[in-house]
Chains A and B, each alone.
Chain A
């Protein structure tokens, strides 16, 4: 363990902005993709069901 305290951990030896800026953006970018994948899946199903209903009428 290299970190004596939480504040040391967040400071990252003075490079906190760069380290957490990398991990934070990577985390949120992946999170956004996961959300859009799940929503996209639902939307595709709804859209295709609607198209089917129109086509069968």
Chain B
């Protein structure tokens, strides 16, 4: 049972504050390095697409951003569920710390999607299932953050935000399967766990490296943010006071 005790130890805001502080540089530098490799592959290794020419190179931003926007939302929903079920303070703080970065990736997936859609479909935007549900995801992020900032009492804000996050989670499978369930302009999944990718290997490699870069970046960003939230909420405790006094 010693392992379960260790996990509870790290779930304490005080311990996590220090742990996150030590981990942030590793995630941040890994993200930077991976992004540099990914961009190099995107422009100098991956071949020209035989159908889309060079326009397809948007994929190395678009797909990782879209994946991250959905994945981070699911992580937020997970922490919201944990927080509501066990009333663990750190879970709600994690959810709050993830939202701005999730919103950023949701915005980037829409933006790069528009810039890719124009030359390929002839339209910046169409109201089809994939695009509309992705727009809803972006609005969910913004709405949840607005709800948090509208409620002054942090604990009440936590619970209201968690509830909205959980309700909105139903949108994530809708985004993912929208290209199967409805007739849409958007192409189907390029990569799936079930079958071999239909793209050149270097394209897949570049996309995966960019995805890991985005993932590590999101972890670093969320940890920086959660440290601020922890310190703010724990400022009356002895350990937080020591940090604030610069000891």
Which A positions have Cβ atoms within 8 angstroms of B? 1-3, 9, 12-15, 17-19, 21-23, 25-26, 29-30, 33-34, 37-38, 40-41, 44-45, 48-49, 51-52
Contact = CB atoms under 8 A, between A and B. Distances in A.
Interface stretch (B6-14, B69-77, B139-147, B222-230): B222-230
A18 B116 contact: yes
Interface stretch (B100-108, B150-158, B167-175): B100-108
Interface of B is mostly: helix
Contacts, number: 84
Interface residues of B, number: 36
Contact of A15 (B39, B54, B225): B54
Contacts of A30: 104, 217
Nearest to A38: B224
Contacts of A21: 115
Contacts of A23: 39, 61
Contacts of A25: 108, 111-112
B118 interface: yes
Per DSSP, chain A at the interface is helix
Contacts of A38: 224
Given A33-B104, A52-B235, A13 B116 contact: no
Contact of B48 (A13, A22, A45): A13
B61 A22 contact: yes
Given A18-B115, A18-B118, A51-B235, A2 B58 contact: no
Contacts of A17: 115
A15 B104 contact: no
Contacts of A26: 61, 65, 108, 111-112
Contact of A52 (B221, B227, B241): B241
Q: Which of A12, A15, A41 has the most CB of B within 10 A?
A: A15
B200 interface: no
B238 interface: no
B193 interface: no
Given A37-B225, A40-B228, A44-B231, A29 B44 contact: no
Interface in B94-145: 100-101, 104, 107-108, 111-112, 115-116, 118-119
Given A18-B58, A52-B244, A2 B104 contact: no
Given A44-B228, A52-B235, A52-B244, A29 B119 contact: no
